[in-house]
Amino acid sequence: GAVVSQHPSWVICKSGTSVKIECRSLDFQATTMFWYRQFPKQSLMLMATSNEGSKATYEQGVEKDKFLINHASLTLSTLTVTSAHPEDSSFYICSAVNVEGVGEAFFGQGTRLTVV
Amino acid sequence: QKEVEQDPGPLSVPEGAIVSLNCTYSNSAFQYFMWYRQYSRKGPELLMYTYSSGNKEDGRFTAQVDKSSKYISLFIRDSQPSDSATYLCAMRSRGFKTIFGAGTRLFVKA
């Protein structure tokens, strides 16, 4: 299957700082990427849809000023958690859609964020 | 009512058993159906991808879609301890926004 690389795989940051997470599609162009959040033993919660060259679409209840998404190229989307707080600690996962195939989504390996 | 319903389990089976995982959904516009496997603290891995109704087989895995009943299944034959993971069903309509089930935790005991 296609490869989606997410970096970093884990990060610890201090409360009040910002953290950037990168999501790259390595062998296909992804005009659409998705960002999810996952709490322990729970399913994926869609946070936002990232579209190359345009503003992201956020799900209800997700603060767009806190979770900044940039999709500047066909292979890279970034999620920046601004002014992080301990309640932002979670597992963040991106997926990229292979629009050249049948539209299946491939996931990155996830980023475990811990805010102390 | 959630768009996609999936029993979270856990489901515990002995090695070699046939495992049946299921999801129901309410949105008749869904056309594409996927099953993902997720190991602890890892991103989901695409296992099966099916368009519309019918069966699809890949090795020990068989995916079934019954659009008339709004019901999808994943069967795992000759289950192995390495199959122990959380299995997520997922589906979408024409757009690329994918809706996931809650995930079923599967334990295969040696």
Q: Which whole number is the average pLDDT over A56-80? A: 93
The nearest CA of chain A is from the CA of B70 a distance in Å of 20
For residue range A3-34, list pLDDT tens digits in order.
Answer: 899 999 999 999 999 999 999 999 888 888 99
CA distance A71 to A79: 9
Q: Which member of B34, B43, B102 has the closest CB to residue A93? A: B43
Sorting pLDDT into bands at 50, 70 and 90, what band is A94?
very high
Identify the pLDDT of residue B81: 97
Q: Which residues of chain B have a pLDDT value below 50?
A: none
> For chain B, how far is it from start to end, CA to CA, in angstroms?
37
A10-13 vs A111-115, strand pairing mode: parallel
Closest-approach residue (CA) in chain A for B86: A41
CA distance to A8, A115, B28, B91, per residue, from B104 (Å):
27, 29, 23, 15
For residue range B44-67, list pLDDT tens digits in order.
Answer: 999 999 988 889 999 999 999 999
CA distance A15 to A31: 33
Identify the pLDDT of residue A30: 86
CA distance to A72, A83, B48, B79, B80, per residue, from B60 (Å):
40, 47, 11, 8, 10
Identify the pLDDT of residue B45: 92
Identify the pLDDT of residue B12: 97
Is the per-residue pLDDT at A101 higher than 70? no
Mean pLDDT: which of A50-54, A70-74, B71-75 is highest?
Answer: B71-75
DSSP A59: P
CA distance A40 to A37: 10
* Non-local CB neighbours of B43 within 8 Å, separated by 6+ positions: A4, A6, A93, A107, A108, A109, A110
Q: Which member of A43, A105, A106 has the closest CB to residue B101? A: A43
A29 Cβ under 8 Å from any chain B Cβ: no
Q: Which whole number is the average pLDDT over A85-110? A: 87
Which tokens belong to A60? 């209800």
Identify the pLDDT of residue A5: 94
Q: Which member of A41, A46, A108 has the closest CB to residue B43? A: A108
Yes or no: say if B60 and B76 are a contact pair by the CB < 8 Å rule.
yes
- Are the Cβ atoms of A34 and B97 closer than 8 angstroms? yes
Q: Which residues partner with A107 through β-bridges?
A: A95
The nearest CA of chain A is from the CA of B19 a distance in Å of 20
3-class secondary-structure state, position A112:
strand
Yes or no: say if B76 and B61 are a contact pair by the CB < 8 Å rule.
yes
Q: Which of residues 56-115 of A touch B (CB under 8 A)?
A: 91, 93, 95, 97, 99, 102-110, 112
Identify the pLDDT of residue B67: 93
Is the per-residue pLDDT at A2 higher than 90? no
Output A65 or A98, whichever has higher pLDDT: A65
Q: Which member of B34, B41, B102 has the closest CB to residue A112? A: B41
- Are the Cβ atoms of B105 and A41 closer than 8 angstroms? yes
- Are the Cβ atoms of B92 and A108 closer than 8 angstroms? no
Identify the pLDDT of residue A1: 63
Q: Which whole number is the average pLDDT over A50-76? A: 91
The nearest CA of chain A is from the CA of B30 a distance in Å of 13
Identify the pLDDT of residue B51: 86
